[in-house]
Amino acid sequence: MRTLFRVVAALAALGLVAPAGAQDWPAAKPITIYMGFPAGSGVDVIARMLQEPLEKELGTKIVIDYKTGAGGNVASELVARAKPDGYTILLGTAATHGVNAALYKRLPFDVEADFTPIATLVDVSNVLTINPQIIDASSVQDFITKVKAAPGKYNFASTGNGTGTHLAFAEFNARAGLDMVHVPYKGGPEALQSVITGQTCCIFNLVQTVQAQWRAGKVRLLGVSTARRVVAVPDIPTIAESGVPGFESYIWFAFFGPKGLDPAIAARLNAATNKVLASPDIAKRITDLGSAPRIETVEQFRQTVKENRARWAEVVKQVGASID
């Protein structure tokens, strides 16, 4: 028996035997995905899209739980402090794991050290969306001209202080030399509704969340924030090609676990997620929304987080934003 134990221990040391937790996972109980943004938001749409196919792929129930607040920090802290058993996952974003690290003077966790990267999900483009009843601009350059003619008159909405939508507009204003008032909301649905009703004139919002209102004629799209045009709205030019050279702002959504998550569990989650993202049906649905599937290994994703943190730190520094 002692010899058997020694053999098993040696194999485990070589990585040839998975720990018991990894072998049993995820049979014991449902997996909970915590979300720092409200139901109906762009992040939620992607989560709901992936929920059922991931359940089938993993052979277990998946529960989505909303813990909103502080730009996603509430949900992030909950997962950072959770037991690393594979049953508690964060659906994070480039904002929660890049922007917030630079924007908030104090965070109760480290966006790299306190999390285990699992899998990227999608790259998401924002689009400059306006209410033409408030500012009747036909192009990005027309918008810039009208805003410059009335400094401080126009206000823009965002999905919250420090979110990607806030910083996208802040960087746009800085590059274009605009003076606008920022009005933060608790999430995407409220922010977009403020534009539709005329409480604010405009927003940089996710392509996927504005398409229905755009097709209904309630808003107008002027330019996408990515370096290339978006397949879902091919006739909408990029901001950069519309006279603001060098402008690019996009975010990604992704799965994170707490630090110390078993590498075997992270690898299985990564493989299952990538398989779902690569399926023709899911890939098309994501593309139709104006996003793009992003498939990476765990190590590639780890590098993405590092690069994203550095990139957003520079943007935050440029626009001079901060939150206590």
Asked if residue 53 is part of any domain, the answer here is: yes
CATH number where 201 lies:
3.40.190.10
Together in a domain, 104 and 26: yes
Cα separation, 199 vs 228, in Å, equals 31
Same domain, 50 and 189: no
* 118 and 137 co-located in one domain: no
Considering the entire predicted model, what is its pTM? 0.80
Task: Specify whether 174 is located in the same domain as 211.
Answer: yes
Asked if 116 and 133 sit in the same domain, the reply is no
Q: Considering its fold, how many domains does the chain have in total?
A: 2
Is residue 51 a part of any domain in this protein?
A: yes
Q: Name the DSSP class of 207.
A: H
Statement to judge: residues 256 and 200 lie in one domain: no
Residues 119 and 7 in one domain: yes
| CATH code of residue 92 | 3.40.190.150
160 is a domain residue: yes
d(CA 160, CA 240): 24
Same domain? For 91 and 41 the reply is yes
Domain span at residue 72?
2-123+252-319
Phi, psi of 223 (to 5 degrees): -170, 140
On whether residue 247 sits in a domain, the answer given is: no
Residues 104 and 63 both lie in one domain: yes
User: Which pair of tokens denotes residue 203?
Assistant: 């927003």
Query: Is residue 58 domain-shared with residue 7, that is, in the same domain?
Result: yes
Q: How many CA atoms lie within 13 A of 60 on its CB side?
A: 17
| HSE-CB of 17 using CA atoms within 13 angstroms | 11
pLDDT of residue 1: 42
Q: Do 7 and 119 lie in a common domain?
A: yes
Show pLDDT as tens, one digit a residue, over the chain (324 residues). Answer: 444 344 334 434 444 444 445 667 888 799 999 999 888 888 999 999 999 999 999 999 999 999 998 888 999 999 999 999 999 999 999 989 988 888 888 899 999 999 999 999 999 889 999 999 999 999 999 999 999 999 999 999 998 777 778 888 988 999 999 999 999 998 788 999 999 999 999 999 889 889 999 999 999 999 999 989 999 999 999 999 999 998 988 889 999 999 999 999 999 999 999 999 999 999 999 999 889 999 999 999 999 999 988 888 888 887 776 676
Same domain, 73 and 211: no
CA-CA distance, 208 to 124, in Å (whole number)? 8
List the Cα angle 28/30/35 in 5-degree steps: 145
Report yes or no on 324 lying in a domain.
Answer: no
- What are the Cα distances from residue 124, in Å, to 82, 117, 164, 224, 240? 28, 19, 10, 10, 17
Q: Express each pLDDT in 35-59 by its tens digit.
A: 998 888 889 999 999 999 999 999 9
Residue 232 domain-assigned (yes or no): yes
Q: Can you tell me the distance from the alpha carbon of 199 to that of 161, in angstroms, rounded to the nearest whole number?
A: 18
Q: Check residue 10 and give its pLDDT.
A: 43
